[in-house]
Amino acid sequence: MLKIVLLGTGNLAVHLFDALATNKFATVIQVFGRNKEALSYFQDRTDITDSKDNIRDADLYICAVSDDAIKAVSQYPRHKEAIILHCSGAVPLTALPGDCKRGVFYPLQTFSKGRSIDFTKVPICVEAENNEVLEVLLALGKSISETCVAIDSDQRKALHLAAVFANNFTNHLFERAAAICADNKLPFNLLKPLIEETVAKLDTLSPLEAQTGPARRGDQYTQEKHLNLMTDLRDREIYRILSQAIEEKYGNQL
């Protein structure tokens, strides 16, 4: 069984640990973290340490930390025959130490505290310097997820960019929609069936085919009414930019 040390105690580390808890291919023998309160989540389930000097020897070290901490944390393991991974979508493989076996194990999902995730549905993208390490990462990924694919650093950066559009920017628009509802004493829950259908129809339609709304129809009258309703200048600018982008995309189909 593959022995893993998890370096980090944040949202991703928690979800990875839970996904590996009953795994028959690998086991987490230790969790390292500086935050003692965060470490308490793991203390009754595996060995924990807040000292880099007490990090145990393992087959694989997973740096489940913020992007700016990867370079420093990846230097902690002293077992140079082990594989060291990071989990970032935006950091290249070469950010890891060059004197070790290195790879990337990138779960493409948004992770939030207190939210349960079915890891079998999380796509995992892996990268490695050689086939030996790649085979280990593919096996590990397939042991916890239905989808595990090998991509290179450039592809991963592009995928991360696409994910920012699909998730982070979309969620910000949800927040602005919630603010508009709150300002007008409307419950945000009224929009949830619409949001759910927006995502659900992507099972049968491409995003290009699924677009609807005033900008898609070229309905300038409704757009002007919407703009006049808004008092927040940033919301107006977002509305204009997105409406213009949609109109330009479908201009010859209006």
Domains plus CATH for the chain? 2-151 (3.40.50.720), 156-253 (1.10.1040.20)
Structure tokens at 127: 């990268």
pLDDT of 78 reads 79
Query: Cα 100–104–110 angle (5° rounding)?
Result: 145
pLDDT of 84 reads 97
pLDDT of 235 reads 97
Confidence band for 85, pLDDT divided at 50, 70 and 90: very high
Dist. CA 20–CA 27, nearest whole Å: 6
53-65 tens-digit pLDDT: 999 999 999 999 9
Dist. CA 137–CA 84, nearest whole Å: 11
* Residue 22 or residue 138, greater confidence: 138
182-224 tens-digit pLDDT: 999 999 999 999 999 999 999 999 999 999 999 999 999 999 9
172-191 tens-digit pLDDT: 999 999 999 999 999 999 99
Tokens 């020897």 -> residue? 57
Q: pTM score, two decimals?
A: 0.92
Residue 163 has pLDDT above 80, yes or no: yes
Dist. CA 214–CA 19, nearest whole Å: 43
Please answer whether residues 129 and 103 qualify as being in contact, where contact means their C-beta atoms are separated by less than 8 angstroms.
yes
pLDDT of 31 reads 98
